[in-house]
Each structure stands twice: as structure tokens, then as C-alpha cells.
Amino acid sequence: MVTLVPPWAHNYTEFWESIRRRNLWFIQMRYWSFLMLSGILLFSYFVLDVKYTDVQLISCFVISIVILLYNMILHRIRKYLKCEPGRFNPLHFSLLQMVLDLIALLLLVHFTGGIESPLYMLFVFHMIIGSLILPRFCCLLDGWNNLRTFLRNDNFGIFRYNSSSSHWRFAWC
């Protein structure tokens, strides 16, 4: 098991309570993000008449439902976590949440236009919110993964220019 807990925090009760509060805050934010994502998809489809492809529409709704489902599972699991530094603890739980959110964000960005997606800038918020709770080396690792993902999705413009990779487009692109 990866040791995320700094040595000074092993018996520091306020540290663990702070991590637990922030984990609950992340879970509550994820419920709001599910509602906003579903609302934006419905509003843009029915009111703004955005022409999503069938694959885009279905995949975005499936992703939002999966976000809701894994959030409900995380909400139930968080009660049973113990603050033991050598085992699965609230810091590992935070890292798990961050990885699941990153995967969901990657899929959403892919199906909403890749590098041209308006959701692309949410990677910045993902990094900032993750840095609120995780140790420094985890934040640096997350920042490196976000940068690598950004460069990989952009492909430096080479594959998009040569039309050798798939690209999802909105009707106005």
C-alpha cells in the first residue's frame, strides 16, 4: 500500500477530520456536477438545438449516470473508512475519487470534441481541487498526468491536421 500519510499526521486527529470533511465535500460537489452535466446536455439539446450525434448524446448520458452511481457507492463507503496510516484510509479514498473523476472527465472531453471541447478547461479545476487534499507528490503526479493527457489529446495538432485520428464535432464546428 502506498504511504500517503506524512509521519507527523499519524496521531493528529484534526488532520483526519479535515480529510473526512473534504471527502464529503467532494461527494456533494459530484452530485451537483451530475445535475449540472445532465441539465446542460438537456438544455443544449432541446433549447439551443445543438446537433449531437447519437454516440455523443448516449455516451454523455451514460457517463453522467455512471458518475452518479459511483458517487453513491463512494458516499456509502466513506462511513466505513478508518484513519489508519498503514491501510486504506481517507487519503487513499481521496486519490480514488480523483482518479475516477479524471477518467470521467477524459471521456466527457473526448466525446464532446476533444481539444476543441468547452469542457477541456475543467482539467485545471480538477488539478486545483485535488491539490486541496492530497500530499505534494500526489499533486505533482496529478499535474504531470493532466499535462500528459493534454498533450496526448491535442496530439500537437499533427493527427488532427492529417485527419488520421477520429474527432467528434459539434454542428457549429
- DSSP secondary structure string for all residues of 32-57: HHHHHHHHHHHHHHHTS-----HHHH
For residue 17, how far is the Cα from the chain centroid?
23
C-alpha cell of 88? 486504506
Q: Determine if residue 117 is left, alpha or beta; phi over 0 gives left, psi from -120 to 50 gives alpha, anything else beta.
A: beta
User: How buried is 92 (Cβ within 10 angstroms: 0-12 exposed, 13-18 middle, 19+ buried)?
Assistant: middle
Residue 10 clears pLDDT 60, i.e. is over it: yes
pLDDT score recorded for residue 117: 78
Q: What is the mean pLDDT of residues 65-92?
A: 86
Q: What is the mean pLDDT of residues 75-101?
A: 83
pLDDT score recorded for residue 169: 52
Q: In terms of pLDDT, which residue wins out, 54 or 134?
A: 54
Question: What is the domain partition of the chain in residue ranges?
Answer: 12-156
Q: Is the pTM of this model over 0.85?
A: no
Confidence band of 58 (pLDDT split at 50, 70, 90): very high
pLDDT score recorded for residue 67: 96
Confidence band of 85 (pLDDT split at 50, 70, 90): low
Confidence band of 166 (pLDDT split at 50, 70, 90): low
pLDDT score recorded for residue 12: 67
Question: Cα–Cα distance between 172 and 122 in angstroms, integer?
Answer: 21
17-21, 66-70, 104-108, range with greatest mean pLDDT = 66-70
- Dihedral, 156, 154, 158, 165 alpha carbons, nearest 10: 160
Other CB atoms within a 10 A radius of the CB of residue 88 amount to 14
Residue appearing with cell numbers 500528459:
148
Q: What is the mean pLDDT of residues 23-41?
A: 92
Q: What is the mean pLDDT of residues 3-16?
A: 67
Residues 6+ apart with CB under 8 A from 120: 109
C-alpha cell of 83? 484513519
Residue 53 clears pLDDT 90, i.e. is over it: no
pLDDT score recorded for residue 156: 47
Residues 6+ apart with CB under 8 A from 147: none
Confidence band of 144 (pLDDT split at 50, 70, 90): confident
